[in-house]
């Protein structure tokens, strides 16, 4: 109950209404005190008028008039003459004097709060203007305890009434919130839960119907999200089916091409000059086809394990890459070298980073070789407080603009003729598994630079 929106709204409404009533209580209790004192002055004035009507009142009648008025004595000023109209013995000295004729709201509130905070019974003097201009002023002397008790009684009744009003108001708002807010919100949540349980079921897609504009916007946003997600799921399912079919085709095609590759060995031994001249091209074509099939199968399996992170000497990993690719250079004038500091340690999976670097170096080597010019490939590394950075730069011909647009997309980012475009896509995926990024830093006629950024943090916030 307390953890629900309507329950908390009920509690907050009760609290806010009570706070509002308390703010009203302070001036109300001050006004009650003023009315109480004015009523005592009015009673005292009536008692004094009775004395004016009959100048000789019995002592018993005078005491009764003072008791009914709730005062000890009455002083009435008429025609600049101050007259003690009624009097009785005062038990204690006068402690405070209050003049109601010129008292402002703040003064009345202050005096009321002080009176509530003073439990002692004191003798007070109250001065006011007579009703109907029956003199210049009227002054009475009275006890403060009856006034304080009357104020407390009035305050308790006000607080009880405020509590009833706050509870009643909160209950009404509770019902209204449940009807106009909570129920529609639960409906939206229900649609979300049904859709999550069965995205393919169209009945789980929400139909916006809320009358509240904010909820209507939320329902429309959810409808758009569900529609787009349903389409994406359908597309993903179709791509998965297509990928399975492509994988099966690639598997069978690879077996066929492997068999064909074996026959090329005998073709190369032919004495026919034309066959001997065309055989190497046939071998290269079949080799590229086999590589494409194997790359497609590897990418389609999506079985890349999560990286096993440990502190690794980057120089050792790069040295293996340089040695491996240097052997593949052949007769081309390409130099592959490393400037990685020997003491540079990087937190990574050494096998996966080896594959990433080897892929980048191989692409650079093939790009330089295709240009027919000498070239250089340099592997460099640096670090700061936040990340390790690895750079693979070459002096090749650079990447064409079209290739840059889809550089890290599978089957689309190939620059080399006959390439599958899987190498950079897989490399970028491996780097993302480390929480890092692979980006094209620069490219142009002077060469190309790829940069790998591996964060030093553990990914927590």
At 412, which CATH number?
A: 3.30.565.10
**Beta strand ranges found along 229-374 (DSSP E):** 310-313, 334-338, 345-348
Nearest to 85 by CA among 38, 53, 132, 123: 53
Domain ends where: 266, 301, 336? 301
Task: Say yes or no: 289 and 326 in one domain.
Answer: no
**CB distance 359 to 427 below 8 Å:** yes
| Whole-model pTM over 0.75 | no
Task: Provide mean pLDDT across the span 22-44.
Answer: 81
Q: Look at residue 346 and tell me whether its pLDDT is greater than 90.
A: yes
368 and 387 in a single domain? The answer is yes
Higher-pLDDT residue of 252 and 403 is 403
Pick from 397-401, 412-416, 427-431: least confident = 412-416
Residue with tokens 């006000």: 158
Spatial CA neighbour of 447 closest among 353, 347, 334, 286: 334
Which range of 8-12, 159-163, 330-334, 350-354 scores highest in mean pLDDT? It is 350-354
Q: Which of 257-271, 298-312, 433-447 has the highest mean pLDDT?
A: 433-447
Higher pLDDT residue, 196 or 4? 196
Q: Give me the mean pLDDT over the 263-278 stretch.
A: 66
Indicate whether 194 belongs to any domain: no
Percentage of the chain exceeding pLDDT 70: 72
Mean pLDDT of the chain: 77
Domain count, the chain: 3
The pLDDT score that the predictor gives to residue 313 is 93
One domain, residues 103 and 244: no
For residue 461, name the pLDDT band (cuts at 50, 70, 90): very low
**CA–CA dist 53, 69 (Å, integer):** 17
Do 158 and 22 meet the contact criterion of CB atoms below 8 Å apart? no
In a domain, 10, yes or no: yes
Q: Is residue 392 predicted with pLDDT exceeding 90?
A: yes
Both 273 and 322 in a single domain? no
pLDDT in tens, 180-200: 777 777 888 888 888 788 777
Q: Which residue, 251, 307, 248, is CA-closest to 455? A: 307
Domain boundary among 249, 272, 301: 301
CATH number at residue 237: 1.10.287
Q: 376 falls in which pLDDT band (50, 70, 90)?
A: very high
pLDDT digits (tens, 9 = 90+) for 102-156: 788 888 888 888 888 888 888 888 888 877 655 667 788 888 888 889 888 988 8
Which of 301, 336, 371 terminates a domain? The answer is 301
Confidence of residue 418 (pLDDT cuts 50, 70, 90): very low
CB 119 within 8 A of CB 148: yes
106 and 44 in a common domain: yes
Same-domain status, 314 and 238: no
Judge whether 122 and 96 are in contact, CB under 8 Å. yes
154 with 15, same domain: the answer is yes
Domain boundaries, position 61:
5-168
Task: Please state the separation of Cα 291 from the chain's center in Å.
Answer: 48
Any domain includes 106: yes
- DSSP H helices, 84-136, are 105-116
Residue 200 domain flag: no
Whether residue 184 is contained in a domain is answered as no
Q: In angstroms, what CA-CA distances link 376 with 15, 393, 423, 434?
A: 76, 8, 21, 28
Name the more confident of 121 and 69: 121
- Do 326 and 403 belong together in one domain? yes
189 assigned to some structural domain: no
């Amino acid at each position: 109950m307390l953890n629900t929106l309507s329950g908390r709204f009920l509690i907050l409404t009760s609290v806010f209404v009570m706070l509002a009533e308390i703010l009203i209580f302070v001036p109300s209790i001050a006004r009650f005190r003023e009315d109480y004192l004015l009523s005592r002055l009015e009673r005292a004035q009536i008692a004094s008028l009775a004395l004016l009507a009959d100048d000789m009142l019995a002592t018993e009648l005078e005491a009764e008039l003072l008791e009914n008025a709730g005062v000890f004595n009455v002083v009435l000023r008429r025609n600049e003459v101050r007259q003690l109209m009624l009097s009785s013995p005062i038990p204690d000295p006068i402690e405070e004097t209050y003049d109601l004729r010129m008292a402002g709201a703040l003064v009345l509130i202050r005096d009321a709060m002080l009176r509530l905070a003073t439990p002692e019974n004191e003798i007070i003097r109250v001065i006011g203007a007579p009703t109907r201009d029956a003199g210049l002023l009227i002054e009475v002397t009275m006890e403060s305890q009856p006034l304080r008790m009357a104020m407390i009684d009035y305050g308790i009744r006000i607080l009880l009434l405020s509590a009833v009003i706050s509870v009643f108001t909160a209950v009404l708002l509770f019902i209204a919130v449940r009807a106009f807010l909570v129920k529609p919100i639960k409906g939206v949540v229900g649609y979300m839960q049904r859709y999550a349980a069965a995205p393919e079921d169209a009945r789980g897609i929400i139909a916006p119907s809320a009358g509240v504009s904010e909820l209507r916007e939320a329902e429309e946003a959810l409808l758009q999200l569900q529609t787009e997600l349903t389409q994406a799921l359908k597309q993903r399912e179709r791509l998965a089916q297509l990928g399975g079919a492509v994988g099966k085709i690639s598997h069978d095609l690879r077996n066929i091409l492997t068999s064909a590759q074996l026959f090329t060995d005998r073709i190369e031994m032919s004495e026919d000059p034309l066959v001997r001249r065309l055989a190497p091209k046939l071998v290269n074509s079949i080799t590229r086809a086999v590589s494409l099939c194997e790359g497609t199968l590897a990418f389609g399996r999506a079985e890349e394990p999560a990286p096993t992170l440990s502190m690794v000497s980057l120089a050792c990993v790069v040295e293996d890459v340089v040695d491996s690719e240097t052997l593949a250079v052949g007769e081309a004038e390409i130099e592959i070298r490393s400037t990685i500091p020997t003491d540079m340690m990087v937190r990574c999976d050494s096998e996966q980073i080896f594959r990433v670097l080897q892929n980048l170096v191989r692409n650079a080597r093939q790009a330089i070789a295709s240009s027919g010019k000498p070239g250089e490939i340099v592997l460099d590394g640096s670090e700061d407080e936040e990340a390790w950075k690895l750079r693979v730069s070459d002096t090749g011909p650079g990447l064409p603009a079209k290739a840059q647009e889809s550089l890290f997309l599978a089957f689309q980012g190939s620059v080399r003729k006959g390439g599958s475009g899987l190498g950079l896509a897989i490399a970028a995926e491996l780097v993302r598994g480390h929480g890092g990024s692979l980006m094209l830093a620069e490219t142009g006629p002077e060469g190309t630079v790829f940069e790998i950024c591996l964060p030093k943090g553990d990914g927590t916030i």
